[in-house]
A and B are shown apart, each in its own frame.
Chain A
Amino acid sequence: MRWRRCGEDAALLDCESLEQMRAAHAIVSAARPEGVVDLVPGARSLLVIGGVAAAKTLLDDADLRHPPAGEPREVTLDVRYDGEDLTLVAEDAGLSTDAVVELHTEAVYTVAFTGFAPGFGYLTGLPERLRQPRLASPRTRVPAGSVGLAGEFTGVYPRESPGGWRLLGRTSATLFDPHADPPALFAPGDRVRFRAVR
């Protein structure tokens, strides 16, 4: 772990692994020291905006191997697996489309971090056999609710946007509504499952 300066009142904690980042995030999140305005998890890092000194003190003494066992929220999303790239994903994985759906719905995912758009979560826990690169050329329009995968992640597009993830299907769930509480369905640390519906 290493702290890196990030302007006047923020610092980036470089972590050795996603698990270490999650532990650091859980510790600072639970204690919420004075002055911390935002905590932004990344794939291998945690950005602390405001209250840097307090966060450093907290993490210097923390046992990252045994982070606080919070009760993660569990979210289950219904998905119609009729995505434009389902056949492509199956071919590249050497599986039937049914087997792809089975693998994708059996796994339990964790929201590692967010970004790209409000409510977009990068979900880890994608079965090894489904890990595939992004599309060679991104689509200019991906419909809202599209469920896709890219690299080690799976995710859901909160609104129509351009995107290069391989699309497996769609959900009708609302991923982001600024007038709802909480505004985003996915927050870092949440557990997510997908359920196939016809």
Chain B
Amino acid sequence: MRSLEVLDPGRYALVEDLGRPGYAHLGVTPSGALDTVSLRLANRLVGNPSAAAGIEALLGGLSVRLTASATVAVTGPAVPVSVDGRSFGSHVPVPVRAGQSVSVGTPSTGLRCYLAVSGGIAVEPVLGSRSRDVLSGIGPAPLKGGDVLPLGEPGIPAGADVVVPVRAPAELVVPVTLGPRDDWLDDPAGGLSAWWTVTAESNRVGLRLDGPPLRRAVEGELPSEGVVTGAIQVPPNGLPVVFLADHPTTGGYPVAAVVRAGALSALAQARPGTRVRFRMS
């Protein structure tokens, strides 16, 4: 069996693919890689279909050993990558022989590195996806040293792409559409266009922000309603939470606006301290 052994998961490493949309009516969140752009890119570099499962490593620090020859690629923010101690960059396909180890360093910007291996991580899918959903505990457990993950059969590598690694910026301007509950808040467009700071309480469920609190225009309880990924929910303290892939499927606080899908990958790389403002679009 082609497989990969986890030598060191680093701070927090999860198996993620493009998630399991379509089960929200049962209370199951879509989950999947937070930075889908980077996961798709890593898959492309190693000749996988874009939906193949890879490893999402928070702040890198991941080391794995391969039991079979394979092509690997690491994407996300620029990060050092080495094979048996020999340095390669990120964002390039790297050939690895059976028995060799791949180590991912710590990125100087951004948060989440993605490791793709030719053939993809082939653990048993749950509800059609191999993603770990941290909110519900569905999918493969967070990786630990000694874990052995099966790999699928590699496809035909597409040939090397030349990719410029991204730097996660210290300031982000994020396009949003107002609604569905902007009328529950006092000047939501103005309030959201202020500078907000990403806090350390952020995780795969939501990006928490600190700044000048938004004020409610309507008091009272909102009956529970469905929410989408990218929803900017405003709890009673007025500090917005941007729902990321592992968000609850329904919520009882008003959603002032929704982040455009194309901007979610940048938010997935926003470290605590990053400044964010929202632009109505």
Given A38-B21, A42-B225, A178–B250 Cβ distance below 8 Å? no
Is A43 within 8 A of B225, CB to CB? yes
State which residues 84-135 of B face A: CB under 8 Å.
126-127
Instruction: Compute how far the CA of A95 lies from the CA of B144 in the bound complex, rounded to whole angstroms.
Output: 53
Task: Indicate which residue in A12, A117, A118, A176 contacts B226 across the interface (CB closer than 8 Å).
Answer: A12
Given A5-B178, A43-B223, A178–B127 Cβ distance below 8 Å? yes
Q: Which residue of A lies closest to B281 (CB)?
A: A8
Is A7 within 8 A of B223, CB to CB? no
Contacting residues, chain B, for A73 (C-beta < 8 A): none
Is B224 within 8 A of A10, CB to CB? no
Contacting residues, chain A, for B24 (C-beta < 8 A): 38, 40, 47, 49
Question: From DSSP, what is the main secondary structure of chain B's interface residues?
Answer: loop
Instruction: Compute how far the CA of A188 lies from the CA of B249 in the bound complex, rounded to whole angstroms.
Output: 14
Contacting residues, chain A, for B27 (C-beta < 8 A): 114-121, 176, 184
Interchain pairs with CB closer than 8 A, number: 124
Instruction: Compute how far the CA of A9 lies from the CA of B229 in the bound complex, rounded to whole angstroms.
Output: 11
Pairs across A and B, CB under 8 Å, 20 listed? A7-B259, A12-B180, A38-B21, A42-B225, A42-B226, A43-B224, A45-B223, A49-B24, A49-B226, A49-B228, A113-B250, A115-B224, A115-B249, A115-B251, A116-B248, A118-B23, A120-B27, A176-B27, A178-B126, A182-B26
Answer whether residue B165 sits at the interface, using C-beta atoms and an 8 A cutoff: no
Is A115 within 8 A of B248, CB to CB? yes
Instruction: Compute how far the CA of A46 lies from the CA of B258 in the bound complex, rounded to whole angstroms.
Output: 17
Instruction: Compute how far the CA of A41 lies from the CA of B227 in the bound complex, rounded to whole angstroms.
Output: 10
Is A47 within 8 A of B26, CB to CB? no
Answer whether residue A6 sits at the interface, using C-beta atoms and an 8 A cutoff: yes
Q: Closest Cβ of chain B: how far from A152's Cβ, in Å?
A: 10
Is B231 within 8 A of A179, CB to CB? no
Among A7, A10, A39, A117, residue most surrounded by chain B Cβ atoms (within 10 Å): A7
Is B223 within 8 A of A42, CB to CB? yes
Answer whether residue A162 sits at the interface, using C-beta atoms and an 8 A cutoff: no
Instruction: Compute how far the CA of A104 lies from the CA of B259 in the bound complex, rounded to whole angstroms.
Output: 43
Instruction: Compute how far the CA of A121 lies from the CA of B22 in the bound complex, rounded to whole angstroms.
Output: 17
Instruction: Compute how far the CA of A186 lies from the CA of B259 in the bound complex, rounded to whole angstroms.
Output: 31
Interface residues on B, range: 35 or more
Answer whether residue B277 sits at the interface, using C-beta atoms and an 8 A cutoff: no
Answer whether residue A56 sits at the interface, using C-beta atoms and an 8 A cutoff: no
Contacting residues, chain A, for B61 (C-beta < 8 A): none
Instruction: Compute how far the CA of A5 lies from the CA of B260 in the bound complex, rounded to whole angstroms.
Output: 12
Question: Interface residues, chain B, CB within 8 Å of chain A?
Answer: 21-28, 126-127, 136-138, 177-181, 223-228, 230-231, 248-251, 255, 258-261
Task: Indicate which residue in A6, A44, A116, A121 contacts B180 across the interface (CB closer than 8 Å).
Answer: A6
Q: Closest Cβ of chain A: how far from B180's Cβ, in Å?
A: 4
Is A8 within 8 A of B177, CB to CB? yes
Is A37 within 8 A of B26, CB to CB? no
Answer whether residue A122 sits at the interface, using C-beta atoms and an 8 A cutoff: yes
Instruction: Compute how far the CA of A118 lies from the CA of B136 in the bound complex, rounded to whole angstroms.
Output: 7
Q: Closest Cβ of chain A: how far from B220's Cβ, in Å?
A: 13
Contacting residues, chain B, for A49 (C-beta < 8 A): 21, 24, 226, 228
Given A49-B228, A179-B126, A39–B25 Cβ distance below 8 Å? yes
Answer whether residue A129 sits at the interface, using C-beta atoms and an 8 A cutoff: no
Q: Which residue of A lies closest to B251 (CB)?
A: A115
Q: Which residue of B lies closest to A2 (CB)?
A: B180
Contacting residues, chain A, for B21 (C-beta < 8 A): 37-38, 49
Instruction: Compute how far the CA of A114 lies from the CA of B178 in the bound complex, rounded to whole angstroms.
Output: 25
16 further A-B contacts with Cβ under 8 Å, apart from A37-B21, A118-B136, are: A6-B231, A6-B255, A9-B261, A10-B258, A12-B180, A37-B22, A42-B224, A49-B228, A114-B26, A114-B27, A116-B248, A176-B26, A176-B27, A178-B28, A183-B23, A184-B27
